[in-house]
Structure 1
Amino acid sequence: MNIKKKWIAWTVAIVLATNLLTYYGTRRISLVLPGGTTIGAQQFTDASKFQKMFEVRHLLNKLYDGKIDDNALVEGAIKGMTAALNDPYTVFMNQKEYEAFSSQTEGAYSGVGIQIEVKENNIVVVSTFEDSPAKKAGILPGDVIEKVNGTDVTGKEYDKAVTMMKGKEGTNVDITVLRNSKDTHTYAVKRSKITIDTVSGEMLSNNIAYIKLSMFDENTGKNFDSKLKELKDKGAKGLVLDLRQNPGGLLTTCVDVVSNFIPKGKTVVSTVDKNGNKDVRESKGGLAVGMPLVVLTDGLTASASEIVSGAVRDYKIGTLVGEKTFGKGVVQTVVDTGDGTALKVTMAKYYTPNGENIHKIGIQPDVKVEYPEDLLKKPYSRSSDPQFSKALELIKEKMK
């Protein structure tokens, strides 16, 4: 049954429930919907709370001097329900928004080439991809996106902002950002084909490997395994893993990645839903158990990246260097609601192996090193990166 049919069926049920309750008062009654689903009296009472929504629709049809699109009303009502939760991670996505969201985890799309996250109801640029339109235009990590094509956007319009920035290759989009809480800049950015390569790495001197993960999409796990094996075959004896500006991604993928450092069968992360149901994800084992490890983090290391960081910290299998992580300790699931639409909803909290939920708290590094703000305005140079320098110093000590 598609979403439209579901909506009509429930509308009929709600109206009927309201009428029955009015007639029977407090008598215990039930209604059997098509398919065998039974709604009892308490559910009738809950449904009656939505009566005003239908009264408003009736008044609009009666009084509004203009065209009314019932599909638009339905979408607006659903989006209103999710927005009322004040949870930027719970949203109803129409067809275009769902397509844009799906492409983000599949590894390719047409857009501007940035990663963004919600912080204090602001849309914050986490990173810009190498050679991306956004980077070439001058957009920087830490910028707060205030407008897209002149339309104001906040954390509540996260998915809307993503959809507006994506589009046909070769077309332009205006992005207005607030920088350092005082300077406003508007950039005309030409969209292009963005292929997300989430794993990059190389051998450094002294048998030290360096791998950077920009996010956790469907391909990150296998690509990380390949890169790690490649570097080990070249003689890597220690690893610097860079999770800075990594906004997260898929839960299963981050478990695959960190399993490389944790003995098989040990808990990587556990999730607990509103009913107390617990789901434990265990390490699958991997290529680098026991390998000296340093992990770089910052304030934009979020979600799945924090799952990796939390497991490394709790098992003491590596040293966290940099700044406190973002603090996103909740998990979303995506429910296909038919007609190409979907509901992304926060459905659980996650806990590190030691049982800590880091939501709105973050994870403190073992060694704190701040990244100077003035360096963000300059082209990146590893030689002037104090966090990387400290990580290199520590991995050398571990390998002695």
Structure 2
Amino acid sequence: MELLQEELSPDDFKAAKTNCIKYTRQDSMHGAYIMNDFEWKHYSPAVFRRLLELDSISYDDYLLTICGDDTLREVSLPGRHGRVYILPGDKRFVIRTLRKSEKKVYLEMLPNYYRHVKKYGASLLKRLYGLHVIRPPGGIKVYFAVWATVMPLELCLYKCYDLKGSSVGRTCNKSQVHDTVILKDLDFDFCFYLDPLVRDRLLAQIKYDCEFLEGEGIMDYSLLLGIHLDTTRSLEGSIDEKNSGSFNAKRQTDDTSEDDETSSELTLADICDLIDRPDLKFGDRLPARAVRTCRNEMESRSYSSSRTQECFNVLLFFGIIDFCQNYNMKKRIEHACKAMKYDSKSIKTVNPKAYSSRFQEFLSKVFLPEESD
């Protein structure tokens, strides 16, 4: 991996490759053949090739998927920035259209972002696979980014949240991901209990990621969190009635028999080995015990041990998204205006240092340590 890092030069981060992509397709109504001639630009191709290799994805497979006729025609349709496209033919990639200014922010942070995700394989920052601009025949330029998928397409999500740790205006909107409505902070009513070692490592990684974003002058990012009910593990209905813990799910191996069920519990050594793995992805099927709570309880950290609390086992999918907003003059003015009407600590538009601290503090109350028996 060090060799790959040495191969990249400062010019690789500034490079851009431009070419034309031609497609011929038949008009279903008139039977005539139509030529689509897209002007295509790929920013920093050598860098993004390395980022794909970090996740064992072939660069050629990536280009074949992204440069498909249907994909380019869909992305180049006129409309607002921020549109999200899920590629039906490849579950690994998500496309999001960008403002030109957002593309610029990603390119400016790319050298440090590349070094960060290489150093921290367990980073929660959503993996960026490519930055492109495309212009269809007679059309306007459309900038877009290609990301790794955070939410699973093959599983039914119970709920999905976009969390920032702020409260003003943070309630449900009409946007969806994989047909699931995305809720926000004021709709959030859970906390998740994890093994203490796993929680410590998770919060440490969140700290590293937030320090990186703070250093880049970035704010307004979110934790995209999906909850899938884990029916493979049983749990009694009370917070007091502990099961075998967050990592006691049965190992999915072909040679596991019914007689081996009692041996499937992970030991402390197993957990230590698990969280030290370089390929560990915290936001991919992380098992946890979910307890329904409310925001006031989270803010006061007064978690009741009442048996009436609803709790169940879940698999969590999450990642930090939308980290392209810097604290520019527009955001400074927005902060000043909103701070006159609301508590400055509750609005989402705050400086990067304050945003990072609040985000970490909020997530430390979302992810809690499982108590020992």
The two structures have a TM-score, normalised by structure 1, of 0.22
> TM-score normalized by structure 2?
0.23
The higher radius of gyration belongs to: 1
Structure of greater relative contact order (alpha carbons < 8 Å, 6+ residues apart): 2
